[in-house]
Structure 1
Amino acid sequence: MMNLKPIFAALLLSAIAFTGCRKANLDVDTSSGNGSASGEVSGVWAKGSIQMIKGDITIPAGKSLTIEEGVTVLMDTTAKPEIIVKGNLYSMGTAENPVKFTVNDAYKTPAKKFGKMWGGILAAPTCAELVLDHTILEYGGNTTSDASTSVKQGLYKAVAGENLPALWFSNINGKLIVVNSIVRNFQEDCTYIEGGQIIFANNVFYTTGVTGGEAMNFKSGCLADLGFNIVYSANTNAFKLSNSGDRNPQAHIIAYNNTMVNTGWRRPSAKGGSVWVENNVHAEIYNNLFANTRFGIKRDTKSPEDKRTVVSNNLYYGYDQLTVDQFQPSKDIVGGVNEIISKKAGDNDPKFVNYPESTPVLNADYNTAWDFHLQSGSPALGHGRTDFTRHHAAGITIAGVGVTYTSPDPANYIGAFGTK
C-alpha cells in the first residue's frame, strides 16, 4: 500500500507556504523601511521610506495605517490604484518632510498635468479618523470602470465612468483633518465630503479639473471649518457648499480667510465661479478674498441656501470690467454686508506681494514663486471680522495619533495671508 503521509505532509507545507505568501501580500506592515503593497495594509510606513503601490490597497475596518514624515507613496501608473480606507488613515508629514502620494517623475509632463494616473483616497463610512497633515496629493483622479474596487464595493458614487476625487470621506460621525497640505494635478474634484467633524486649514489647491470639478465640495452631514486655504484656477468653484444627501446634521460650513484666484473660468456653464451655495446649506462666509474669480458667491436659485446664511467682510477684485460686473449682487449672486466691492475694473487691488494680476484667467499653471501675502496699504488689511464662532475652536482630538487639531483663529485681514 502507498504511504500517504509524505504526500499529506507536502500538501500541508504547500498550503502553509501559499497562505504565508498571501498574507504577506494582503496585510503589509513595512515599518522597517521601503516596501511594496497591494491588498490589505495596516501598521506603520516608516519615516523617509518609499512605498510602491502595485494595486488597489485597503485599510481594513478596525485597523489603522500611519504614514510617517517624508514617506513617498509611489503609484503604479498601469494599475492606477485606489486607496480604500475602511479603518483609519494618518498621514503625518512635516513642513520639511511632507508625505507625498504621487507617480514617477517621468510621467509629470504638461500633457499629463491633470493626472488620471491613480485613483484617490476613498474613505468608507466605517472610517472613524482620517488625517492629512503636511501631505501632497498629486496626479490622480482616474476614471472608474466596472472593474474598479470602489464600484464593486459600492463606494463613492459606485458607478463606472466617474472621475475620482483626491479625497472622499463619508462618515457623518467621523473626524476629518486636512491641514498644511497641497492637492494638485487632479482630473476633477479635489475633495468630495459627505459628513463628519471637519477642519480644512492652510492648504493649497491648484491645477485641478479638466472639464469640471471643485477644490472643496461639501454635502449634508458636514460640520466644517475652512480657513486660510488658497485655491488657484479650480475648473469650477473653490467651494461647493450643499446640503444634498439628506443626512443629519444639516451641512453647516464656516468658510473664512481664504484666497481664491482665477477660479471658475475654465468651466463654460453657469456653475463655474468661486463659491456655490445650494440645497439649504447653512453657510457662514467671512473674510474671503476673491481675485479675478468668475462670479462672487453664487446660489442655485431653484434650491437656495438656508436663510440663516451669513456673508460679510469679503473683498472682490477684478482686473477687467467683465469680472467686476459678475461680482455685483443680483438674484443669483449673493450680496453680503461690510463687503469691499466696486463697479470699476482695477479697484480694490489687494496688492499681492508677487502675483501678476493680468495673468489670463484661463491659465491653470501655478507658479510656486507667487506670493499671496499682502503689501502695506492693501485694502484687505484691517477689514477682517473676528467675532464669529467656529465649530472646532476647542479642537478635534484624533485618538489614533494623540493630537488635538483646532481650527485657526480668524484674522483681522481679508484672505489667507496678511503682510509678511
Structure 2
Amino acid sequence: MQNFQFQTVGNIISGLGSISELYNILKAKPYQRLLLVTDAGILQQQLHLPILEILEQLQLDYAIYANVQADPAEQIVLDAVAFAKQQKIDVVFGFGGGSAMDVAKIIAVLSHPEQHQQLSDLYGVGNAQAPRLPLILVPTTAGTGSEVTPISIVTTGTTSKTGIISPILYADVAILDANFTRNLPAQITAATGIDAMVHAIEAYTSKIKKNAYSDLLAKQALRLLDQNLKLVLEDGNNMQARQNMLFGSMLAGQAFANAPVAAVHALTYPLGGHFHISHGHSNALVLTEVLKFNAPAAKQDYAELMCWLDPRSKGCTDGLCDLFIDHFQNHLEQSGLTLKLNTLGVPENMLIQLAEDALLQTRLLQNNPRELQVQDALNIYQAIYA
C-alpha cells in the first residue's frame, strides 16, 4: 500500500437547509465581529439574507466586504485585508464562488492582529503560516471546491495567476447548502459543474501525489457530477440534484487538494488572465483535447473511470479510454457553452502567447501524466480555435 498524507477541513456540514447550523457554530464561540466576504452579485440577489438573519438572532456584530471580483487581483485582496483590519473583525465568513472564498482565506491569515506576513510572502507552497482568524466557508456554486482546499488563486500583474497553497488555508467549517445554488443561470451551472469534473479527473490521474484515498473521492465525485449535471440543466429547481452536485464538487475539491490538478488548469489560466473567460468555461474549452493528449499515458486510468461511471461498459483499455473521452465531449456539447476560441474573441495570433504562458504553470504541469511542451499546448489551442 502506498504511503501518503491526506488533509482536509475538520468540520463539513452538508444538506438542504444546513445553513441553519451556522447559529450553533457561532453561538459556541465568543466572537465579537464577523466579516462577510462576498461579491456584489450575491448582495443583489439577496442570497446573504439568511446569513444576516442568523447574525441578528445572535446579536453578533458584522461587516460586509462585497467588492470581490472574479479572478481577484492583488489590489482587491489588499483592499479587502485593509478593510478587515479597520473593522477589527475576529471571524471570517466566505460566501460565494471560488473567488470570494479564496479572498476570505487570505483575509483570515493577513488580518490576524499577530500576523506579520505580507501578501507577497504567501505566494507559493507552504509559505502562508499561522496565526489566522477562524474561517467559515459556504459555496454558492457547485464547482470550485474551494471550501475544502488549502489554495487561493490571485491574479498577479495584468494576465498571470499565482497560487497560495498552505494547510493554514483549510477552513474550520464548510457548509454545503444547495439552496444557495437554486437560481444559478444554466451557463454558470454548466461551467462550474464541468470545473468540478475536471478536478476529479485530474486528481485521479495526478502524477505525483495520486493515492488510494484521493482516488476514492475522485471516483465518487465524478459519478455524482456525471449523474446530476444533466438533471440540473434540465430542471434548475431539482434541489436534490443540486445538493448532489454540491457534494460532488466538495469531494472533488478534497481529492485535488491532496492529488493536485494538471494540464487542463495550466491551459485555462492564460485564457482567464488574457481574455477573462471564466475558469469553468476555460476548463470546458480545453478538456477533451487535453484528455486526448494525455491518453497515451493515462488510458488505464481513463478506462477505469469509464467502467466506474457505466459498469455496462465493455472492451479493451484503448476502447474504454476513447469511450471516456467521447463521454465528456458529449457533456460539453450538451452544456450550452461556447466551445471555440474564435467565437469568444481570442485572436489567432495570440495562441502562441497562450501556449508559452501555459508552460509557465510548472506547479500544475509537474502533476500531468504526460509531459507537455509549448508545441503541444499550441496544438491544443489550435484544435479548439475554430
TM-score, length-scaled by structure 2:
0.33
The structure that is helix-richer by fraction is 2
The structure that is strand-richer by fraction is 1
TM-score, length-scaled by structure 1:
0.31
Which of structures 1 and 2 has the bigger CA Rg? 1
Higher RCO (CA 8 Å, separation ≥ 6 residues): 2
